[in-house]
A and B are shown apart, each in its own frame.
Chain A
Amino acid sequence: MRWAVIQFPGSNCDQDVFHVLKNVLAQEVDYVWHKDSSLSGADAVVVPGGFSYGDYLRCGAIARFSPIMSAVQEAAAQGRTVLGICNGFQILCEAGLLPGVLVRNASLHFRCETIPVRVENAGSRFTSEYLASQVLRLPIAHGEGHYVADEATLDALFQNQQVLFTYCDAQGRTTPEANPNGSQRNIAGITNRAGNVLGLMPHPERASEKILGSDDGQGLFASILLSVKS
């Protein structure tokens, strides 16, 4: 399986994703510069975290117009796997590949910590290696992770099982206290309607090796691998 990791000016989680894919999961993986126009046939695309274009204007607002984003749109339309992590999630929302938008955390604080995240739907191509309602420990690091969409969109997201991850407490309860950024309905990660594009604020690539404290994130990459092989 071949992976592409997009690099924008200001991306800073690109190397972490690359490392996990190449060295931990022994995958074929290439960096793709944002000015390129081709993904060279990669099976899966990662839009990594960071601060593309300095987060000027709005997070992801400028990156969505980078030349490579046409190829990402095309890959998404073809049903290939597209994964946006943190700033990548923000970019995919701005690009219209995912509904809603991410705004400033309700607390106004940048939150950088490892927190419990619940798997809402273990039947997707991104979560098949997890159990339904499993509580993962994943790192977050963001100032703009507050997911916002209108009520009809939120209802549809849950109804269609597009919500893959929510913020929860250690017992798996999605309480307001367990919500680090004010996201509506504690949403931490969603897919598009077709289920091949995922955006999430937590960083699975920072939790893919035991030596780093948690490998709970590795299941996400392993699930994608399984989906492409099967």
Chain B
Amino acid sequence: MIRAQVIVRPRQSIFDPQGDAVCRAIQHLGVSAVKQAHVGKCIELELEGDNLDQARSQLETICKDLLSNPVIEDYVLTLQPADQK
């Protein structure tokens, strides 16, 4: 088994109203040191097999085509072997 994690977040150049609202809420709660917040998504996947390279190349395509929109988002894909239960 392989466990994959995809972090999708808005590009720095794109205004992120959710991040902005979260940042202001944190400041409102008294933690004024927080100056920026960005809200993204974390997608966790479990795959059959143990070939990490093959899984990575398959998932890179999925990340670009489906899980993120390159016009507004960046993604980070990490994979690791998972112990079978």
Which residues of A are interface residues toward B (Cβ below 8 A)? 57-58, 61-62, 65, 94, 100-101, 103-108, 148-150, 182
Chain B contact surface mostly: mixed
Please indicate the chain B residues that have their CB under 8 angstroms from the CB of A108 in the complex: 17-18, 21
Option from B14, B17, B67, B69 in Cβ contact (under 8 Å) with A105: B17
Q: A103-B72, A148-B14 are in contact. Are A57 and B21 (CB under 8 A)?
A: no
Option from A65, A101, A148 in Cβ contact (under 8 Å) with B66: A65
Count of B interface residues, CB-CB < 8 Å: 11
Chain A contact surface mostly: loop
Residue-wise, chain B 5-24 has the 8 Å CB interface mask toward A (1 for contact) of: 00000000011011001000
Asked if B14 and A57 sit within 8 Å, CB to CB, the answer is no
Asked if B17 and A104 sit within 8 Å, CB to CB, the answer is yes
Q: A57-B66, A61-B66, A65-B66 are in contact. Are A149 and B71 (CB under 8 A)?
A: yes
Residue of A nearest to B66 (CB): A61
Asked if A104 and B18 sit within 8 Å, CB to CB, the answer is yes
B75 to chain A, nearest CB (A): 12
9 more A-B contacts (CB under 8 A) besides A106-B17, A108-B17, A148-B72?
A57-B41, A57-B67, A62-B66, A94-B69, A101-B69, A103-B14, A103-B72, A104-B18, A108-B21
Please indicate the chain A residues that have their CB under 8 angstroms from the CB of B69 in the complex: 58, 61, 94, 101
B8 to chain A, nearest CB (A): 9
A197 to B20 Cα, complex, angstroms:
34
A205 to B72 Cα, complex, angstroms:
30
B10 to chain A, nearest CB (A): 8
B72 to chain A, nearest CB (A): 5
Q: A101-B72, A148-B71 are in contact. Are A106 and B15 (CB under 8 A)?
A: yes
Residue of A nearest to B21 (CB): A108
Q: A57-B66, A65-B66 are in contact. Are A100 and B71 (CB under 8 A)?
A: yes
Most chain A CB within 10 A, of B15, B21, B71, is at B71
Q: A57-B66, A61-B66, A65-B66 are in contact. Are A101 and B15 (CB under 8 A)?
A: no
Please indicate the chain A residues that have their CB under 8 angstroms from the CB of B66 in the complex: 57, 61-62, 65
A116 to chain B, nearest CB (A): 23
The 3 closest A-B pairs by CB, nearest first: A101-B71, A108-B17, A106-B17
